[in-house]
Every structure is written in structure tokens, then in C-alpha cells.
Amino acid sequence: MSASLEQRRHLVTAIPGPRSVELMARKSAAVAHGIGTTMPVFAVEAGGGVVKDVDGNSFIDLGSGIAVTTVGNSAPRVVEAVQQQVAAFTHTCFMVTPYEGYVAVAEALNRLTPGDHEKRSALFNSGAEAVENAIKIARVHTNKQAVVVFDHAYHGRTNLTMAMTAKSMPYKSGFGPFAPEVYRAPLSYPYRDEKDVDGTVAARRAITVIEKQVGAGNLAAVVIEPIQGEGGFIVPADGFLPAIAQWCTANGVVFIADEVQTGFARTGALFACDHEGVVPDLIVTAKGIAGGLPLSAVTGRADIMDASHVGGLGGTYGGNPLACAAALATIETIEADGLVERAAQIERLMLDRLHRLQADDDRLGDVRGRGAMIAVELVRSGTDEPDADLARIVATSAHQAGVIVLTCGTYGNVLRFLPPLAISDELLTEALDILTDIFKEATS
């Protein structure tokens, strides 16, 4: 961000303003209809906790471009590293003429991801591409084919990852047929599970489905988000993840953590698996990894990662030098600025405010999440019936008031907060004040 970007919410036109309206008309005429937008405004500048639009309005950013700009938009170290790299070379293709940045990112991932066993990494462009590659690696290593995913899961929009993603509308509807050999197991969903379903019981329930409907002898990998992202920021009950991981280890099944959304300090730990001491065989990372540049990775046990023949993995742009420079600067920023602890502070501030709001308003059925990945699940008063209309109304009102918030969840009734870790407490508090006022007025 430029030094001139003031860290404040400031609206100077109606939302959207006239220049955004004009650009939205051009978008409708030029961009495929399937590409939707959350906000009705077009960005020109962003940094810290603020996004500024083409009409001069400044919004408080509680979205981070979907958990990507964790270190902040145009974070100073990222800008400098990318500027140096763009002037040196932009692309050689790592598979043609390799370069040090790629190797340094792999070394950093091997060092930082859970577990101190020997690891290898491979770099790709998007989260979905990395998930697909993790499956390729697990299949070639185990010589088995089946993949188990969970209810409410989101793993991407490519053909294999659409099959892995749970929700039909909008992610899958009309886009089949989907890749075969993908099976779905029940998740631990503390808010909606029966009272006596703790983590161990939920894991047993899932393992029974896996054993009876798939069979360990056919199963290459279990893929799970340690905290679900698009599915509704569902934090499984304590003990669920370790029990699933242990079952995988005991049964020759590769345990893959999809930390695309939860990774890189987002949850108040470097990786969400760290909260429960779970060490995945393979971990998939993307979003927060490179301060906004497109990069993703698969990292894991050397014997599994090295199972592919030479030339079996790769891609023209995977581990692009600009993205690698950005990733190294992002990791340096997380470590130097203490952003893991910052995410934990944001958790305390947000949960405190949202729990107080919940005490006065039972439409906030569940307040949950970790670090700077916090959500409220909205329900009709006096019930646990999902209220997607209320989520939409609150989100739209927040946008009008200058706060970027996102919704998610299988039932569309979850408001999710993913502020950049570079946001100030003042902006965060102001955004929560605004949301509190909106809840007072909102009826669905």
C-alpha cells in the first residue's frame, strides 16, 4: 500500500458510486456471467485494513480477498521482493531452467509445516491445482484410487475438486459428470450434532462409513480441512482430527490436510493442524502463502512426495519466480511481525464482541472459529433453523456502511470474518460496532 492510504473508513458517495456503476456495466457486457462479485464496487488501492474504491470510498476489509492478503495488501516486504524479482526475470519455467526462489520456498514449507520428519514440497498456482496434485501423489504412492472427503467440504472448482466439494449450488450444478472414486463421510459439526457426539464419537461415525462404504484397501487418501472454509468455518470437536489421522496411519491411507484457507497464521497458529498436534502426511497450502500472488503447494513426507516418476508433477507456471519472491517475503513478515500472535489477539477481540452480541440476540446461533477466521451462524430466533436471508441482509447492509464481509456455509447462513492481520484494533472495533448496529435493525 502507498503511505498515502489512510487507515480509516470513509464514504464519499452512495455505494456503489457512479464510477463503480459504470464499471459494473462494462463488466456485465465483457465478463462471463458465471463470475459473480460480492461487493458492488471496484478497487483501486488496498493495504493495512482498508480497501479503497474507484469513487474514493474506503472500506474496512474483513475479507482479505478470501483469506489471501493475511499479511496485508501490498505488504511492504512483498512489494520490495516482487519489484526486485520482476526486474531480474519474470519466468523461465522451473522445469526448464530452475531458480533459487522455488527451492527456498520449498525449504521454508518443509521447515514450517507440522512435523519434523524429512519432507519435500512441490509448487503450483491455485488451491484446487494443489489439491489435485496431492491426490495424484497419494494415488501413485499407495497404488490405490479412492478418496474420502467430508460433508460441507470445499476443495475447489476443477473437475476432481468439484467432485470433492460438497455444495451443489453454485459450485457443481450443471457442471458434471464429476471425477469418480470420491466418497463423502460425516463431519464433526458441534453446533448441529447431537449433544453426546463429541470428537471421538464423530470420528468413529466417520470411520465406520469409510470402512463400510469404501474400505481401507481401496482408499488412497482422506482429505480434510482442519477448519472448514466455504462450508461454514466449522471447527470439529476436539479429538476428531487426531482420531481420523490415527486411523489413516494405522490403515495405510494418506492423511491430507487442506490448509488452503487455514494456513499461514490465519487461525492463530502457523497451521490449523498445530492446534491439535496433528501431523498430516501431506499438507496443501495456497491463499495466504504469497501476500496475494498466485501460488500453492503440496508439502509432505519425503517417501510419499517422491513416489512420482520424474516429469509426473509440474506445470508451466507452478512456482513462478514473482510468486516465490512474494512467498518468501510473506513468511518473513509473518515471523518478523509476530502475526501468529496477532491472529490470536484478533480472535480474543472478535469473540469477546460477538459473544456479547449473541447474549442479546439469539439469532446468532453459534459464534465460532480460531484466530482471524471467525464466523457467526445465523438462525431464526428461538430455533436452530438456518437463516440465509438474515446473513444476506446483514452482509449487504455492512457493505453499504463501508465494511467488507463475506458469507458462507452449506445453508448460506454464516457470516465470516477474515481480516488481514495488518488491520488495526481501531478499524476492527469500528467494524464490529457497525455490525452490532446492523443486527439491531435487521429483520429477515
Ligand X SMILES: *Cc1c(COP(=O)(O)O)cnc(C)c1O
Binding residues vs ligand X (CB under 6 A): 126-128, 131, 154-156, 225, 229-230, 258, 260-261, 286
Measured distance CA(216)–CA(185) in Å, rounded = 13
Measured distance CA(389)–CA(413) in Å, rounded = 7
Residue 16 vs 63, nearer CB to ligand X? 63
Least CB distance to ligand X at residue 198 (A): 24
Runs of H (alpha helix) within 118-269 = 127-142, 159-164, 199-213, 240-250
Residue 78 vs 390, nearer CB to ligand X? 78
Residue 31 vs 44, nearer CB to ligand X? 31
Residue 77 vs 266, nearer CB to ligand X? 266
Beta-bridged to residue 186, according to DSSP, are none
Least CB distance to ligand X at residue 289 (A): 10
Residue 439 near residue 418 (C-beta atoms within 8 A): no
Residue 156 vs 369, nearer CB to ligand X? 156
Least CB distance to ligand X at residue 156 (A): 4
Residue 230 vs 347, nearer CB to ligand X? 230
Least CB distance to ligand X at residue 261 (A): 3
Least CB distance to ligand X at residue 290 (A): 11
Of 404, 403, 428, which Cα lies nearest the Cα of 343? 428
Residue 213 neighbours by CB distance under 10 Å: 12
Least CB distance to ligand X at residue 402 (A): 26
Residue 42 vs 124, nearer CB to ligand X? 124
Residue 444 neighbours by CB distance under 10 Å: 15
How many angstroms separate the most distant Cα atoms in the chain? Answer: 63
Measured distance CA(309)–CA(294) in Å, rounded = 26
Least CB distance to ligand X at residue 315 (A): 13
Query: Which amino acid is located at 395 in the chain?
Result: A
Q: In what order do the strands lie in the sheet with 43-47?
A: 43-47, 50-53, 58-61, 403-404
Measured distance CA(136)–CA(333) in Å, rounded = 32
Residue 421 near residue 240 (C-beta atoms within 8 A): no
Query: Which amino acid is located at 277 in the chain?
Result: G
Residue 128 vs 219, nearer CB to ligand X? 128
Residue nearest to ligand X (CB): 127
Least CB distance to ligand X at residue 121 (A): 17
Residue 127 neighbours by CB distance under 10 Å: 30
